[in-house]
């Protein structure tokens, strides 16, 4: 299992698209935080915070994570190596988990350089350290849960096809709907008493809740359940190849 885990990480960094994906993630967030004259700009906001990272991060993740996960199963299918992989002394769940952990570690790698933003804002605040670190770490935790959820959805999308582009597009759609789709349905106010229930089915409400710096067990349980659901669906899809 760990051999497969390290193989996936090595394959990612041996491929130029890996560096490009992480580079684009950091570039876009840097532009919105430090360059573009928008509400997300740290220098123009007058406050020592990096809320712009946590408001823009999910939308950048919508493209970064599908770019990371699109090849995990789709490429295996196209090249025919999926059949060889399934003959290894690994269970289908171990295969799925190895690829999932590899993709999640890559997401963590993309977030680590953003700690420079925290250090910079912390030290340049007036006075030094005038920054709500509780909310900052809560927002990072929320972004990690969000990334973990998107990775599970991306893996499922990759398991559906042998075309990386199709996997990429399907993953963007599924992640986008899971993030703001239910929130949009909620704003339509069509279902009366169950509108709030529908809203809570989406990622957005739980992500924003954690980002306030208060970790609610209900939000944590939601993310764990969502991740488990899509990993289970991926496992079922991989198992179906044995029946064909």
In eight-state DSSP terms, residue 202 is S
The mean of the pLDDT values for the chain is 85
Q: What is the pLDDT of residue 46?
A: 64
Sign of CA dihedral 235, 232, 93, 68: positive
Nearest 5 degrees, angle CA 151-CA 54-CA 10?
35
Rounded Cα distance between 101 and 135, Å, is 26
Q: Name the residue with higher pLDDT: 84 or 113.
A: 113
What band does 172 get if pLDDT is binned at 50, 70 and 90? very high
Q: What is the pLDDT of residue 16?
A: 76
pTM to 2 decimals?
0.91
Rounded Cα distance between 203 and 185, Å, is 13
Rounded Cα distance between 58 and 204, Å, is 9
The SS3 call for residue 51 is helix
Asked if residue 34 has pLDDT above 90, the reply is no
With tokens 């590899």, the residue in question is: 102
Asked if residue 129 has pLDDT above 80, the reply is no
Least confident of 7-16, 98-107, 173-182, 223-232: 7-16
Rounded Cα distance between 184 and 187, Å, is 5
Q: What is the pLDDT of residue 132?
A: 77
Asked if residue 164 has pLDDT above 80, the reply is yes
């Amino acid at each position: 299992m760990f051999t497969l885990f390290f193989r996936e990480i090595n394959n990612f960094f041996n491929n130029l698209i890996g560096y490009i994906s992480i580079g684009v993630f950091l570039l876009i967030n840097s532009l919105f935080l430090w360059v573009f004259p928008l509400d997300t700009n740290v220098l123009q906001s007058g406050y020592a915070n990096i809320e712009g990272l946590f408001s823009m991060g999910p939308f950048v993740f919508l493209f970064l994570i599908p770019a990371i996960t699109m090849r995990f199963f789709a490429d295996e299918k196209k090249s025919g190596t999926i059949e060889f992989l399934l003959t290894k002394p690994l269970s289908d769940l171990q295969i799925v988990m190895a690829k999932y952990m590899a993709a999640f570690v890559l997401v963590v790698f993309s977030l680590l350089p953003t700690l420079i933003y925290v250090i910079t804002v912390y030290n340049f605040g007036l006075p030094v350290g005038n920054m709500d670190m509780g909310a900052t770490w809560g927002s990072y935790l929320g972004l990690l849960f969000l990334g973990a959820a998107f990775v599970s959805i991306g893996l499922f999308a990759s398991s559906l096809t042998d075309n990386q582009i199709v996997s990429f597009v399907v993953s963007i759609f599924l992640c986008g709907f899971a993030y703001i789709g239910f929130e949009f349905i909620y704003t339509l106010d069509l279902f009366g008493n169950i509108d709030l229930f529908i809203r809570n089915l989406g990622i957005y409400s739980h992500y924003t809740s954690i980002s306030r710096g208060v970790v609610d067990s209900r939000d944590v349980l939601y993310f764990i359940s969502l991740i488990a659901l899509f990993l289970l669906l991926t496992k079922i899809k991989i198992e179906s190849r044995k029946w064909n």
